[in-house]
Structures are given as C-alpha cells and as structure tokens.
Amino acid sequence: MTTTIHAGVIGFGPGGRVFHAPFLHAIEGLELTAILQRHGDEAAQAYPDTRIVRSLEELLALPKLELVAISTPPTTHFELARQCLEANKHVVIDKPFVATSEQARQLMELARSKKLALSAFQNRRWDGDFLTLQKLLASGELGRVVSMESRFERYRPELRGDIWKEKNEPGNGLLHDIGSHLVDQAMVLFGAPKAVTADVRYDRDGTAVNDGFAIQLHYPRLRVSLYASLLTCAPGPRFVVHGTTGSYVKYGLDPQEDALKGGATLGGPHWGEEPESAWGKLTIMQNGTATEKSVPTLPGDYRPYYENVRDAIWGKAALAVPAEQGWRTIRLLELALESSQQQRTISCESLGATPRRNTR
C-alpha cells in the first residue's frame, strides 16, 4: 500500500535539523509527524505543525509512527535503534551507523526477524561529484582504473568545547565520521578490498579523538587512497583517478550541505548544481597527445535516499543502503583502526562473509 508514512526524527542537532527533518517534511509520501528534542524549542520554531516530544517513550507511543530517523551521538545509536525496532518501527541511522560491527550485526538480525527496514544514512552517494565519477567510470573513458584518491579535508584547528564530538567515546572521531562516507563510496565503486593499511592520527593540540587519517585499500591491480583531516588549510582534490587511458581530477565539495545550512529551499532552482569553474578535468592520451576537457558535474540531490526508503517500506523497491552495507563499512573502519594500531596491513577477508559475531 502507498499510504503516507508517518516519520519521526530523534535529535535536532545539525544532523536532524539539516539532513533529516527537511527531507522527511518535503518528500511526497512521507510526513514529519514528530521530533524528539529533549531540550530547547528550535524544532518547534522550525516545524510548528509537527509534534515535539521530550522522550523516546513518548515518541514510540505515537500510534501512527512508522519510521524513525536517528541523528544523535554515535554511542546512543545502538540502543535507540534497538528500542525503535522492538517497537516495530522502520529505522534510518545517521553515520556512523553504530559504534561497532557487532552492534550492527545484532540490529540486522533484529530488523530481519521483524521484517523491518533498517538503513544506514549514506547521503553522499548522491553527491554530484560522486554521481559524476560513477558515470565517468561506467563510460570507460579512463580505461582500466589503476588508482583513486578520495579526500575530504577541512581546516578546524580549534577544539569545539565540551561537545560530544570531542569526547573519547566509541564511534567518535574523524575515522568513523568522514571515514564512513569515504569507505562507503569506495566500496560502492569497487567492492570490498582484499586488505587495508591505515594511519589514524591525532593531529590537533589537546585532541582526545582522532582527527586525521590515511587509508589504503588494496585491490588486485588497483589502489584506493582515502584521506581526511581537520588541519588542511589548502585542501587537495576531492577525487584523483588514474586509468590506462586517462586521468580525472576534481576539486571542491558538493554544495548541498552548505545550501541546507544556509537555509536554501530544498529542491529549489538549480539545486545541487556546481558552477562551471568547479567542474572536474578529464585528461585523455590519444596518439601521444594529451587533451584536457571539463566534465560537467551532475547535480547532486539527497532526496532519492529517502524516496528509496519510502519505496522500500511500501514494498516497491529494495533498500539502496541496507543494514548489511552499514555493517560492512563499520567493519572496514575497525580493520583500518587495527591496522593503524599494529602498524601493518590487515586482511579484509571477513568483509566477504556473512556478518556474524566478531570473535577477534
């Protein structure tokens, strides 16, 4: 049936306010029925027609509620998701999916037993630059890809006070935050790697959480390098891809996040479009001569993520980002951290197996 799906959001920090509530409010077939904001009235001011609740018990008691989006600190994700699934609600969990792969496995089993949708919020699969890269790889213009570098770099040297992101707790730190996106994108493009070598760093003075990393994913005849840092005044290219017939270099980040934070109307004119000056460059070698051309960046649009969740609940589509892929990402991040701590390359053989209790 295609009746309206009543949805709730847990948490009204930047994630709930920017990435979840606007989409659940705007997408046809979804209705933003409730927001759980324990303190403050920002949610009530932003959505005066939406019910504001102060506790999980109050949220789950709403009779029409079917879908819950969780956008809270990572240490809370598992228990909140467990209680929502136990209450027979479909669940979306913001990144990082959960703090450990074992928690992910338990939630997968619970959702499966109750025939509920459980999805990791990987909105950056719908970044314009990533969509463009997927199209370019599919075209074959680069030939056989031999290396890819993917970066997400910012300059934020100051510690952000006494907020949860700066606390040494499971799931916190740049590795699980930005690493969740970069690892997910890499595996969408190339599948699970054979091995991982990582350097996870603590670069800022006084930091209690990791704030920089370099991850090498090893594939047969392909190397994928993932970088993130909070101490990069001059960010490198977002993507650098080399193949047997050419190279693609792209600078800059998808504009949707800044647009949403700036109060732009979701889906307004030119939504997700980049200026021509930000387009990537494709260099192709033909007859010994290198030719360069700009590659128009496809418009990014995060709405298809929630449209897919809606369709999956309606029984019209499979989840684009099922819980199994959330488990896979968290498990690879665990292996990357293990690699960094032991200063060695770690096999990723476990990523190809059915998720099971981790005994390592």
Confidence of residue 356 (pLDDT cuts 50, 70, 90): low
pLDDT in tens, 52-101: 999 999 999 999 999 999 999 999 999 999 999 999 999 999 999 999 99
CATH number of 5-123+304-322, picked from 1.10.3720.10, 3.40.190.10, 3.40.50.2300, 3.40.50.720:
3.40.50.720
pLDDT in tens, 294-314: 999 999 999 999 999 999 999
- Compute CA 283 distance to the chain's CA centroid, rounded to the nearest angstrom: 29
Classified as helix, coil or strand, 163 is coil
- How far is it, in rounded angstroms, from Cα 357 to Cα 345? 22
- How far is it, in rounded angstroms, from Cα 191 to Cα 137? 14
Confidence of residue 357 (pLDDT cuts 50, 70, 90): low
CATH 3.30.360.10 fits 128-300+334-342, yes or no: yes
For 285-307, give one letter per residue: b (16+ CB within 10 A) or e. Answer: eeeeeeeeeebebbbbbbbebbb
In the chain, residues under CATH classification 3.40.50.720 are 5-123+304-322
- How far is it, in rounded angstroms, from Cα 97 to Cα 87? 19
Categorise residue 136: left if φ over 0, alpha if ψ from -120 to 50, beta otherwise. Answer: alpha
Q: Which helix (H) or strand (E) holds 201?
A: strand 195-201
In the chain, residues under CATH classification 3.30.360.10 are 128-300+334-342
pLDDT in tens, 235-261: 999 999 999 999 999 999 999 999 999
